[in-house]
Structure 1
Amino acid sequence: MNIAARNGADIIDGKAFASALRAKVAAGVARLTAEHGITPGLAVVLVGEDPASQVYVRNKGVQTREAGMASFEHKLPAETSEADLLALIERLNADPDVHGILVQLPLPAHMDADAVINAIDPAKDVDGFHISNAGLLATGQKAMVPCTPLGCLMLLRDRLGDLAGLNAVVVGRSNIVGKPMAQLLLGDSCTVTIAHSRTKDLAGLCRGADILVAAVGRPRMIRGDWIRPGATVIDVGINRIEEDGKTRLVGDVDFEGAAAVAGAITPVPGGVGPMTIACLLANTLTACCRANGWPEPDGLAA
């Protein structure tokens, strides 16, 4: 899935990998429908009219239907009460046609996001944010895994094969990316360090990494001279900046500087981003198989 970059590093093509993953999911969905007469269903809930969230939800709906799944979209006004949202989640939890539930974040300020997420049936929590899934992942048990870290792990396995014994540094400590990413790497027997913006000598720590995952949310924070020669760099950051009179998307890594040193690197855009929705579809198929006691397709879960 990689192509050589002009300045030395290989570019990890997340867009191509995600396309292949979606095709694998679609084949699994078709098989379930043909053999069992069941179509996996994904319910996405959007509260309010945040423009970025609207785009994400629309893209998720399109890709869900393209994979042959049932797509259930619930768009609620921003003034919807938390009680009404929780009541909707309760109905979706009980709906046998719904195998995955995703509540698009961020939620309006009057809602408690943790309470909303933890109201989702953990077995249908295809975002992997429920406290039960976080706990299962932390203790090495079967869990629904957050989509972005799962996508990163797939890209790393595809690039490096066996990850056992490699030094991995995760820059970022969020519940959505940093912490679950570290748990997944531990599960693959990496030696893992979680760092963040307040870490002392962050540059020196990064230079020791065979695998560097940047998920700190600061544009181009990680410079090329922080990268160990030959390291694999996964850039999760998506930052919009104004540069030369234009709005650009850049990662948490200085791409040009890092690509001159790294062995492989994900670009922004076109790296980790496309993997997130593809892994959401994979999680929905996995949830459907687990709910019915059927074997899970290989290569879709951590």
Structure 2
Amino acid sequence: MNNVSLDLLQLEGLKVSPGASVPAFVLLLLIYVFIMVSNLGLVLLICTEPSLHQPMYLLFCNMSINDAFGATVVIPRLLSGVFLPGSDRYISYVDCAVQAFCAHLHASATHTVLMIMAFDRYVAICNPLRYAAIMTNKMLVNLSVSAWTVSLLLVAVLVGLSVRLSRCRRIIFNPFCDNASLFKLSCESVLINNIYGLGYTVVLLGSSLGSVTLTYLRIAMVCLSSRNKGLNHRALQTCASHLALYIIMFVSGSIIIILHRFPSLSDHRKLASIMFHVVPPAMNAVIYGLQIKTVREKISILFTKKNHRPQG
């Protein structure tokens, strides 16, 4: 079998029974629409509302853009193959590599963006008098660019090591393309891929978990040593949403890593990998959006208008 025939890969896609195809399609489509409307709507609101032009809210935009990006990488491809039999779901090798790159970029950026958001909360609560001097527009740009650049470089090497390999297989046993799907197409030694992949995971998860843990321990110490109830309330309000988001993301990502160690649970791992690109993006905008007073006010006005709509 030559490489020309291997340029068109067979993608497993979303495994659903014919009877469940329509409900699965409708549910996934509704979730995707909700993710896009909520996240892009939040970005639009923050950009157009002068009162929200503050570092914390502008950093929210990084997360919302990343969530919309991550959902778009995976969900449309899943939707396009729901009604096709597994043998007719094809993807070109180039498209597969691009999807794998984007999927890992989304996952990596989730960690790095949450790290800079934790730093913002640390400065705001532990050093409030210098917050404005530290979190300047230049600092915001530098933090955002750094978060995306680090993710971009780490993932470029990760996927690049897989793309360099020759291929002897053409079936992707996964709902969508990821790095593991790419190097499993090869019959060559993937020792380097496994070593770098392990290092990549340890560095990313270790730095993410370590920085967030240390940040919140420091914030907790400041709150415990302070008798200012206003400070403690503000710290709890602003940090609870960030911590909830991090836990959702970390748990969903860890489940995928753990299930990789149990081949008999491959179907559960595949479902978990889809959930990682669906659940956090759907929850993030809700968690952050309801924290913003302006968003709550606009939602309240919307429902008030509906409830007081004159009857015909």
- The structure carrying a bigger helix percent of its residues is 2
TM-score (norm 2): 0.30
Structure number with greater Rg is 2
Bigger relative contact order, structure 1 or 2 (CA pairs below 8 A, ≥6 apart): 2
State TM-score, norm by structure 1: 0.31
More strand by share: 1
